[in-house]
Chain A
Amino acid sequence: MNLENLNQFNKREFGRLFGLYMKRQKVFLNFSTEKIALDTGLTVKDVKMIEAGRKRLSQSDFETIITVMQMDRTEILNLSKITHVENILNFLREIDGLYQR
């Protein structure tokens, strides 16, 4: 999965949604932050920052996290689509009076 394509519509929002998904997986898999840090090679601080959507990810870290956290790629694509929808809606609101009602 190409991170640049996924977060092309809104990097910050995609990062936030990805962090939330990571938190859900952490609970689902019963992982600790320390275990995630150990398995991904990131620091505990970085893991917490990513979960909070406050750290920009590199492509390799992104792939590693997906693998370690057993994340569903379709779900990640859905996160990107949510940011896409927001983009389109903002665009339509600007050009279409219907959305101004």
Chain B
Amino acid sequence: MDSTKDKKLREFIKDVGLPLNRASEALGLSPMIFLDWWSGHRSRVIKKAQLVQLGQYLHINEDTILAGTYNKNFIRSVLFSGDTVIPEKYSQNQFSYLRSSAHIFKFLTLKYGQHFSDMIMRKLNVSPLLYSDLNNRISLNYFMDLLNILAEQGFTQNDLDQLACVMFLSLDQTPQMRADFSSARNYYECYEVVAKTFKNLDSNFRIHVDLDRTQFNITTFLDYDNHSHIDFSKDQIDKILRYRLILSGWFPYLSNLAPIMPEYKVQYTADGIRCDYTFYLPQPEARQFHLVKTENTTS
């Protein structure tokens, strides 16, 4: 890498205010090598790999760094308003991906306005930038508190149920998942996608799936030992389980199919909570029900 590019990278680091104690990590270099390069004692350190690493660290396209077309405000928001704003309560046992609740805030914004969803985030003591990276993880406590705060704000059980049905709102932010669900042509293919992507939503529950052409069985288990941080009161757990039950039945909507509800059984055992869901998959012609009528489709 020539000195012009080195110079541009130095200017970038100064411009966005990347702290030097984080720069070595951001560039994927050891602190010693970074400081040698920074102080001019070592050259030919910054290669393409370092720029790619920096781009990933800042969630930007690495080409914009040398081109000077980066969004400074966005980069600063990533640097200074990111994970550090998550309360300790939510940063322990981070087994849930943020993508599993992104649709809820999108829904709140669309239905009640930006002001309302910002207010809910303030009540949770998290930054509105929390959802800038859906790959970040968070504790299940966060989701429990979210449901509680919405209930305090006057959400009825019917309103809370609706939150489990609007996952389509966050599919734009997960293009691969959207493509997979869109290409599913029947319930079997849809739940095949679910079986593959379940682990990308949360890992609080140990999950076992069994899928055939007529039936989809999921067993989930929430063990007490690994989740001592959770409030296991029946009221709290019932809320979570009800949400998950409805959510599980609405995955077909992502494939433009009618939702289905499973038979389910909950068992409180000595070491955790076990739920068994059985979906009886409708025949392929059932996909004609409840299709959204648009210019290009008829129902």
Interface residue ranges, A against B (CB under 8 Å) = 1-2, 5, 8, 17, 20-21, 23-24, 27, 74-75, 77-82, 84-86, 88-89, 92-93, 96, 98-99, 101
A-B Cβ contacts below 8 A, count: 58
Residues on B with C-beta less than 8 A from A74 are 172
For residue A24, which residues in chain B have a CB less than 8 angstroms away from its CB? Answer: 109, 113-114
Identity of the chain B residue whose Cβ is nearest the Cβ of A27 in the assembled complex? B114
Measured CB to CB, the residues of B under 8 A from A are 107, 109-114, 158, 161-162, 165-166, 168-169, 172, 242, 253, 258-259, 261, 290, 292-295
Shortest CB-to-CB span from A62 to chain B, Å, is 14
Closest chain B CB from A12 CB (angstroms): 13
User: With A24-B114, A82-B111, A85-B165 in contact, is A2–B261 under 8 Å at CB?
Assistant: no
Q: Which residue of B261, B290, B295 is within 8 Å of A5 (Cβ)? A: B295
Judge whether B259 and A88 touch: CB under 8 Å. Answer: yes
Contact of A92 among B107, B109, B112, B261 (CB under 8 A): B261
Q: Give the docked Cα–Cα distance between A85 and B166 (Å).
A: 7
- 8 closest pairs, A vs B, by CB? A85-B165, A2-B295, A5-B293, A20-B113, A98-B261, A5-B294, A84-B292, A78-B169
Asked if A82 and B158 make an inter-chain contact with CB atoms under 8 angstroms apart, the answer reads no
Give the CA-CA distance A21 to B8 in the complex, in Å. Answer: 41
Does B111 contact A1, Cβ atoms closer than 8 Å? no
Instruction: With CB as the reference atom, state the residue of chain B lying closest to A72.
Output: B172
> A17-B110, A81-B292, A82-B111 given. 11 additional CB < 8 A pairs?
A20-B111, A20-B112, A24-B109, A80-B292, A82-B110, A84-B290, A89-B158, A89-B162, A92-B259, A93-B158, A98-B261
